[in-house]
Chains A and B, each alone.
Chain A
Amino acid sequence: MQVYKAFFKIILKNRIQLMIYLVVFMVLALLLSSSYNPPQDTDFTKVKVNIAFINDDIDSPLVAGLQTYLGENANLVAIPDDTQKLQDALFFRDVEYILRVPVGFTDAMLSGSAVQLEKTTVPDSTSNIYMDLLINKYLNTANTYTTYLPGLSQTDLVAHLQEDLANATEVTMISSGTHSAYAEKSGYYFNYLSYSLFAILILGICSVMLVFNNTDLKRRNLVSPLRSANMNFQMILGNLSFAVITWLVLISASFVMYGSFMFTATGRLLLLNSFVFTLAALSISYLIGNLVKSRGAMSAVANVFALGTSFISGVFVPQALLGDNVLTIASFTPTYWYVKANNEITAAVNFNAASLTSIFTSMIVILGFAVAVLAVTLVLIKQRRLDA
C-alpha cells in the first residue's frame, strides 16, 4: 500500500490550502444558510388588535358580555369619548377599530330586532374583517338564543354566550409536520456544500495526481514491479477515502446545526444525495487531476469548475430564477441534478411515490455521471501508459 500511504502524505502536505478552503466555505455556508429567514406563516399565533369600545347604551350584562368577549380576542384601549381624540387614536394606530354601542342596543337585542353597531376603522386594515367576524359571531349567537329561547334571562343568555364562544377552534398548520424551518435551511446548506466539496476534491486530488503524473516519477513507478491494476486500485482507494473523509467533515457541521433533523426522512435523503454527489465530484476531480499539468492550472480549474457549475446549477441563485438555456447547459453537470434533488427533498412535505421517483431519478443521473467519467479516466490512463 505504498501508493495509498504516499497519497495521504501528499494530501497532508497540502492540508493548509485545503483547510483554508474548508473553513472559508463552512463559514460562508453557515452565514448564508442562517441569514435565510423562513416566512412567518409556518407558525400560527393570533394577533390581537387594538380596539376602542364605547358604550352609549345602558350598562347591561349583554353589553358587558360583548366587551369581555372582545377583550379576550383584542386589546381594549381606553380612550375618552371625544371625536378629536378618537380620530387621533386611529391616525396614530393606537387603535385600529372603534366600536360604538348605540342607545337601545340591549333592548333591541333582547326583543330580537335588528341592531346596527357603529364602527370607525383604519382603511384597508385586515383586522377590520377579523373584528367584524368576532362581533357578528357574538351577535348572531345571541340572536339564535333569543329566537329559540325567548324566555331566557339576560344573565343566563350572557352565561350561554360565554360558554359557546369559548370553544375556540384548534388551529393546525396543514403544512407543518416534519416540514420545519430546518428543511429550508439545511437545503441551502447542502446546496452550498456542493461548491466546497467540489473545490476541495479537485484541489486535493489534483495535488496528488500532479505528483504521480510527473514524468520522472511516473517512469520511476513504471519500472517497478507494481502492477498497473494495483496502482490504479490504490489510487482509486486513496481518492475514495479522501472523498469520504471530506464528505464526513462537511456533513458533520449539518449535524451540529440541525441536530436530530438530520435523522428525519428529509435529513437522511439530503445526506444520501450529498454522498452520491460526492462520488460524481470525485470521479470528475480524478479526470481533471489526470488532465491538469501544473499547480496554477489546478487552482484555476478548481475555482472555475466548482464555482461555474455551482452558479449555473442553482447553488447560489435558485434554479427557478435561471434561464432555460442555462439550466439546459447545467443539466450536463451533476451539480444541477444534485441541487434539483435537494430542492425537491426540502420542498416535499410528505414523501410519496411521485416525489421519491423524481428524487431518486436525479440521484441515479448523478451516479451515472460518476461511472461514465470514471470509465473515461481509466481509458485515458491506459492510453497514457502505452504512450509513455
Chain B
Amino acid sequence: MLINVKNLVKRYGDLIALDHFNLEVQEGEILGLLGPNGSGKTTAINCILSLLKYDKGTIELYDQPMTPDAYDIKRNIGVVMQNVAIFDELTVYENIDYFCGLYISDKHTRKKLVAEAIAFVGLGDFKKFSPKKLSGGLLRRLNIACGIAHKPKLIILDEPTVAVDPQSRNNILEGIMELNRQGATIIYTTHYMEEVEQICSRIAIMDKGKIIAMGTNEELKQMIKSGEHINLELLNPEHLELSEITALPHIISAELTDHQLVVKSGRGKNTLIAILDYLKGRNITIGKIYSEPPTLNDVFLEITGKALRD
C-alpha cells in the first residue's frame, strides 16, 4: 500500500481538525479528497507530509512510517500546495528549475524536465516572467509545474485549480490523468465535485475531519437512496395533486414551481412510466421532459443533511 493512515487525530487548541481520519491509497489510482471548506483536507495532507505534528494515529508511506527525516520517501513525492509557494525573486523558469533541482541534480535531465513541465502547464510564453507579473491563474499553473516537474511517483495536489479558467483547468485535469497513465499515483483535493467526478478513480468524501464515504463515483451514488431527478414541464398543472405523485412507488419527493415539476426518485424501475401514466390519467399535458442522474452533492446531502456548497 502506498499510503496508510490510521486513526489520525489533529487538534488546533479546542478545534478538532482531524477526528480519527483513516485513509488507504493504492498504487496507480487517482484518489479524490472531496470536502467543504474547513473539513480538514489540507490538515490531512500536511500531516501525511510530516509538516504538522499530530496528536494520535499512524501514517505510513511505502510501508514505512513517515517522519520529517524520511528523505527517501520524500524523494518520490510531488506536492502542489494549496497556498502558492514560489520565489517572487526568481523567474518562472528559475522557479521550476529550483524545485526540480531539489529532486534531480543532473543538469541535462533537469533541463528536459523543466521544459516538459512548462509545456504541461502552458507557460511557454512566460518563461522569463517574474511571478509578480503573472495573473492569479497563471501563478497557480506555475505552482503546479513546480510540484510535478521531477515526475514523482506520488503526486499530492491540494486544490490546484482554484482561479484557473475552465479551459486551462481542463488541460490541467487532462494532464493529471496523463501523469497517472504514466504511472503516478495521485491524491487530488478539491471542493469541486465536477473535478473529482471527471478524473478520480476513487473518491473520499470528507466532513468535519472524517471520511464519511468512500468509493468510486458509481459506488457512492449507489450508496444513497436518491436516483434520478425527473424534471417535467406541465402546461396545465392546476389539475395536479402533489400527494398523489409522492404516493407512487419509489418517489422520494415532488415539488412544483410554476409549471415545473421536479420529482426525486429512488432506485427502482419504471418510475418515469408510472408518473407519465398518472399525468395522462389526469389529462395533464407535458411540455419538455428530462431527467438527471444523482450528483455527489446528493451523496453529501444525504449523508450529512447539508449541501456540499451552500
Contacts and interface: CB of A to CB of B under 8 A. Distances in A.
Nearest to A219: B51
Interface size on A, as a range, is 20 to 34
Interface in B242-278: none
A226 to B, nearest CB: 5
B47 to A, nearest CB: 12
B125 interface: no
Contacts, number: 69
A191 B82 CA distance: 49
A10 to B, nearest CB: 4
Contact of A219 (B85, B88, B103): B85
Contacts of A385: 68
A270 B53 CA distance: 50
Interface in A330-388: 385-388
A224 B74 contact: yes
Interface string A1-17: 01001100110010000
Contact of A217 (B53, B69, B74, B87): B87
Chain B at the A interface: SS class: loop
B66 to A, nearest CB: 11
A9 B90 contact: yes
A13 B87 CA distance: 11
Given A6-B90, A10-B89, A220-B99, A227 B71 contact: yes
B52 A388 contact: yes
Most B Cβ at <10 Å: residue of A214, A221, A224, A385? A224
Given A9-B89, A225-B102, A385-B68, A216 B49 contact: no
A77 interface: no
Given A6-B87, A9-B89, A216-B83, A224 B51 contact: no
Given A9-B89, A10-B87, A211-B89, A220 B71 contact: no
Contacts of A216: 81, 83-85
A226 B99 CA distance: 10
A6 B97 CA distance: 10
Contacts of B81: 216, 219-220
A223 interface: yes
Interface string A198-223: 00000000000001001111011111
Nearest to B74: A225
B310 interface: no
Query: Which residue, of B52, B86, B94, B98, has the highest number of chain A Cβ atoms within 10 A?
Result: B98
Nearest to B73: A225
Contacts of B77: 223
Interface residues of B, number: 30
A388 B52 CA distance: 6
Given A2-B98, A9-B94, A216-B83, A225 B89 contact: no
Contacts of B51: 219, 222-223, 388
B103 A224 contact: yes
Contacts of A219: 46, 51, 81, 85
A231 B103 CA distance: 13
A225 B75 contact: yes
A227 B74 CA distance: 10
Nearest to A220: B85
Nearest to B84: A216
Given A216-B81, A217-B85, A219-B51, A224 B94 contact: no
A222 B99 CA distance: 11
A225 B99 contact: no
Given A6-B90, A9-B90, A226 B85 contact: no
A222 B74 CA distance: 9
Interface in A298-338: none
A227 B75 CA distance: 11
B79 interface: yes
B75 A211 contact: no
B36 interface: no
Interface in A1-50: 2, 5-6, 9-10, 13
B72 interface: yes
Nearest to B75: A225
B23 to A, nearest CB: 18
Interface string B96-111: 0011011100000000
19 contacts: A2-B101, A5-B98, A6-B94, A6-B98, A10-B87, A10-B89, A13-B89, A211-B88, A214-B85, A215-B83, A217-B85, A217-B86, A223-B49, A223-B79, A224-B103, A226-B102, A227-B71, A386-B68, A388-B52
Given A211-B87, A217-B86, A221-B102, 12 more contacts: A6-B90, A6-B94, A9-B94, A10-B87, A220-B99, A220-B146, A222-B49, A223-B50, A223-B74, A224-B99, A226-B71, A227-B71
The 6 closest A-B pairs by CB, nearest first: A220-B85, A224-B102, A216-B85, A2-B101, A225-B75, A13-B89
